[in-house]
Copies of this chain bind each other. A is one copy, B any other.
Amino acid sequence: MTKATSSFVALVRALLLCVLLAVAAPAVAQTDPLPSWNDGAAKRAIVSFVKATTEPGSVNFVPQAERIAAFDQDGTLWVEKPMYSQVIYCLDRVPAVVKEKPELANVEPFKTVMSGDREAIAKLSVEDLEKILAATLTGMAVEEFRAEVAKWLDTARDPRWKRRYTELTYLPMQEVLKYLRASGYKTYIVTGGGQDFVRVYAERVYGIPPEQVVGTAAGTQYGYGKDGKPFLTKEPKLLLNDDKAGKPEGIHLMIGRRPVAALGNSTGDREMLEYTKAGAGARLAMLVLHDDAVREYTYGPAQGLADSKVGTFTQALYDEAIKNGWTVISMKNDWKRIFAFD
């Protein structure tokens, strides 16, 4: 082939590709974006919201720059039982901390954690847990912490499914994240969990970059190493307690715009949903109800169970949701599949 002919062939190929894409596009658009969801009120609420806010000419159209969606993490995007993964990480880190500071071996609460006595560990007070969190989450360089968490995520397994914690994300919610992003939304995690902890895996696991993770955050301290290179040390100085009222406050600090959609599962998400709903136009506010003991866990008011300390979903929250038009997602009825490995 001459060079000109070859260019022409390449051009024709490119044109054919254009045609194929043009023909294929409508078919793609009509594929169900939420295949793991049963047809029901929850799925319909999501799809109607996306159409209302993104279809040109819609009275509730939202310009792309303002399309912000906020997702709680624990209990909303992944499993939070029997305990938040980050707390398990902190407990798992205690032996390494004690190895570095042997004097802690006989000091509570480290002594109890080192004993391996599960019942005693489960009874640790909030103050005890705070000491463990401070010892395992602060005092090291930012890069060091990141490497430690990455290593733990790679090796640790949850007690029930014997899988990596990062595999325990809910497939239906992953579909919502992707669907919203494909519709021009910027997806954020807004979590009571540690901002630096979640940032280690959020990009890989949820497709959410570090700058779109808002979480409980402590300060850092800028300094210089022996080699003269600057680095940041994680300090035990709380800047943002990203829970309850702290969620809208954190959203203002980190994003500076009111979300159009907010999804959570507990009383810790109440203010974020209220704040989101208080904006004008179409808004999406959803709460995941854990009512599937067979495939996951059961906790919350619909089960007539005592309130759970992890992922509290009170009757009052349920009533507020119904009153305000928030959608309650039933894991049992709304989700065809829960995990990608199902």
Contact = CB atoms under 8 A, between A and B. Distances in A.
Contacts of A229: 278
A217 B257 contact: no
A294 to B, nearest CB: 37
Interface stretch (A44-52, A208-216, A307-315): A208-216
A232 B252 contact: yes
A255 B253 CA distance: 12
A220 B252 contact: yes
Interface stretch (A13-21, A79-87, A281-289, A334-342): A13-21
Interface stretch (A27-35, A99-107, A195-203): A195-203
B232 A249 contact: yes
Chain multiplicity (copies): 2
A22 B18 CA distance: 12
A47 B292 CA distance: 57
Contacts of A304: none
Interface in A222-244: 222, 229-232, 239-240
A121 interface: no
B142 A252 contact: yes
A249 B219 contact: yes
B245 A199 contact: no
Contacts of A253: 195, 217, 219-220, 239
A256 interface: yes
A199 B239 contact: no
Nearest to A256: B210
A150 interface: no
Contact of A19 (B15, B256, B275): B15
Interface of A: 11, 14-15, 18-19, 22, 65, 68, 142, 186, 195-196, 199, 203, 209-211, 213, 217, 219-222, 229-232, 239-240, 245-246, 248-249, 252-257, 271, 274-275, 278
Those 7 A-B pairs whose CB atoms lie nearest each other, nearest first? A210-B256, A222-B245, A211-B255, A18-B18, A199-B256, A230-B274, A229-B278
11 contacts: A14-B18, A65-B203, A142-B252, A209-B257, A210-B256, A210-B257, A219-B249, A220-B249, A222-B245, A222-B246, A232-B248
